[in-house]
């Protein structure tokens, strides 16, 4: 359970950094508390999209991933971010990605920040 919470927080931090760096990704909220809640909701949706939809898309596009030497994975990551933006728009959560290029840049930022945070954090959190 703790690992799930840690992964949720890592996703939330990565999404916050992406919304701060990439001009086409917006996160709105009246107060800081509302923005943190929005980030946690978006991180949960992003995690579900990456856990459910992304493996199916990667499996179906495997020949093209091989043909492009793995570069198609960047496009798939951007599409998962756009799907997350679309889902949050339907749920009236204040998170929006303006188009493909901001999604591509945002997915790169999210990947790098996630890798850095996962390198710093221990693999498993065990109770003491």
pLDDT the model gives residue 7? 87
State the average pLDDT over residues 61-88: 95
CB 106, CB 18: distance < 8 Å = yes
- Per domain, the residue ranges of the chain are 2-120
Place of tokens 């996703």: 11
% of the chain residues with pLDDT over 70: 93
Q: What does the pLDDT read at residue 123?
A: 67
Q: Give start and end residues of each alpha helix (H) in the chain.
A: 2-21, 32-60, 62-67, 72-90, 100-120
pTM: 0.88
| Banded pLDDT at 125 (limits 50, 70, 90) | low
The answer to whether residue 127 scores a pLDDT higher than 70 is no
Which pLDDT band holds residue 44 (cuts at 50, 70, 90)?
very high
Name the nearest CA neighbour of 42 among 29, 54, 55: 29
Specify the pLDDT at position 90: 92
How far apart (Å, rounded) are the C-alpha atoms in residues 10 and 116? Answer: 10
pLDDT of residue 33: 84
């Amino acid at each position: 359970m703790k690992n799930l919470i840690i992964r949720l927080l890592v996703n939330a931090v990565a999404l916050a950094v992406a919304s701060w760096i990439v001009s086409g990704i917006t996160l709105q909220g009246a107060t800081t508390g509302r923005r943190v809640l929005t980030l946690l909701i978006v991180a949960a949706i992003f995690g579900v999209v990456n856990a459910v939809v992304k493996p199916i898309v990667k499996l179906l596009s495997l020949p093209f991933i091989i043909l492009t030497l793995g570069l198609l994975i960047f496009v798939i990551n951007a599409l998962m971010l756009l799907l997350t933006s679309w889902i949050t728009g339907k749920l009236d959560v204040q998170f929006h990605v303006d188009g493909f290029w901001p999604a591509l840049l945002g997915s790169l930022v999210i990947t790098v920040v996630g890798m850095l945070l996962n390198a710093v954090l221990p693999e498993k959190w065990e109770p003491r």
